[in-house]
Amino acid sequence: MSETSRNYIDGEWVAASTGETIAVRNPAEPDEIVAEYQQSGVTDAVEAVEAAAAAQTDWADTPGPERGRILREAATTLGRRKEALTDRLIAEEGKARPEAAGEVQRAIDIFHYFGSKAADLGGTRKASSGRDVNLYTREEPVGVAALITPWNYPIAIPAWKLAPALAAGNAAVLKPASLAPGVALAVTEALDEAGLPDGVLNVVTGPGSVLGDELVEHDAVDAVSFTGSSSVGEAVYRQATAAGKRVQTELGGKNPTVVTASADPAEAAEIVAGGGFGTTGQSCTACSRAIVHEDVTDDFVDELVSRAESIDVGPGGDHEMGPQVSAAELESTLEYVDVAVDEGATLVAGGGVPDGDAVETGHFVEPTVFTDVSSDMRIAQEEVFGPVIAVIEVTDFEEAIDVANGVDYGLSASVVTDDHTEANRFVDEIEAGVVKINEKTTGVELHVPFGGVKRSSSETWREQGDEGLEFYTIERTVYDNY
């Protein structure tokens, strides 16, 4: 029998006004219901926003060090529960155990980091042009933040939105993705136990199509932070800006790794495979395009195919690569495989559903590699969100940059090279918010900015690090003539 979890509104765990729930199933065993969550309605969203608005002023008046203490205590609690959180993440989202454990640890680290940063918030003192005047700034919270998060990093992304929002003195309403909300509610439990005042954090589960309008447009909401697909995020951005909100969106990607003539093919294949097949390709920063110099293409493809075929696919608890999160995601990936074949790409690895008892019932797909891909094919232009890598052969570095930049997205990009000049040119010329040299496209540090360009971001505020706090704060300038 699965458990039934409730919404968290004004410090209470409550059922949705609809009386309905959502069953979340294990993507490795779709017949297994992991848990049931509230299918909230507009009334629940309104109650959550109103509770946040009522609690925000007192929370803003709470000294920063005290706010930080609560965040750090919650982080410690999450640390004690890391194994259980890892198991829940695997059961709901499907990640392989090392990936799931790493994501949980990232959330823990984020709360420790922003818990410490809360004590540094305050403002700056400046010299005045006149005598007997104190001139300084004050950093103050924006107000109420609506946070809408995706299923692919179901604890890390809520953490990197919640922690800076709360550290800066904002109240928040969080709507986690319906496919994997359990670990976000576990974060909520930890904050509640750490002493977060009632109403400062409110969590409602349910479909964005029902809850989104209220969270984005309610008069009491001051800021909206969204992570998800580009099409939905762009609609959220238009809607929120029209309502006068401060908006931050982090969206899709079509991330390239450029492999130059100086690169070692085996090293390059390891980097590309890690970026493209890790997290079952279900990452906005996943590498889906390998743009390879013709001199090393054959050796690179051999190495990449070998790695793809060696990956152990199965339930995330004890296999190297887990399932896709849902039947719909699996179907979408397989459709892209068919499209690529129809457009003339050559399938050299994977492309289907794996065989074996361990993968008989789940949403599993083989790590997939295509060659003979041209940059105008759909598989080279559109986000697949599965473990599919398109190899595009180029004749020189200039062509590689043109191909890499020839998409609507610009989130993460990497280059594999032993030529320092090429590395510096790549940094100068690539159109991406995250640029890596001799590293995979996935994986980011929590204390530096994260975000993209073009359709990968609203290009407003970045997340994480000091810049992550900027979105949730506004400066007041004070002239004190004494």
Q: Which of 180, 190, 236, 284 is catalytic?
A: 284
- Residue 439 has φ and ψ, to the nearest 5°, of -140, 160
Give the residues across from 290 on adjacent strands.
257, 391
In terms of Cβ atoms closer than 10 Å to its own Cβ (0-12, 13-18, 19+), residue 361 is: middle
Alpha-carbon gap, residue 389 to 398, rounded angstroms? 21
Say how many C-beta atoms besides its own lie within 10 A of residue 82's C-beta.
Answer: 14
Strands 12-14 and 7-9: antiparallel
- Which of 261, 189, 232 lies closest to 417 in space, CA to CA? 261
118 CB-near residues (< 8 Å, 6+ apart):
64, 65, 67, 68, 71, 167, 168
What is the edge-to-edge ordering of all strands in the sheet holding 144-148? 12-14, 7-9, 201-203, 171-175, 144-148, 223-227, 246-250
- How far apart CA 5 and CA 181 sit, in angstroms, is 10
CB atoms within 10 A of CB 330: 20
Kindly write down the DSSP assignment for every residue of 305-362, as one continuous string.
HHHHHH--BS-TTTSSB---SSHHHHHHHHHHHHHHHHTTPEEEE--SPPPSGGGSSS
Q: Pull the structure tokens for residue 274.
A: 């890690």
Active site includes 287? no
Within 10 angstroms of residue 209's Cβ, the number of other Cβ atoms is 8
Alpha carbon separation from 9 to 3, 90, 260, 274 (Å, rounded): 19, 27, 53, 40
DSSP per-residue letters across 410-468: ESEEEEE-S-HHHHHHHHHH---SEEEESS-S----TTS-B--EETTB-SS--BSHHHH
Residues annotated as part of the active site: 284
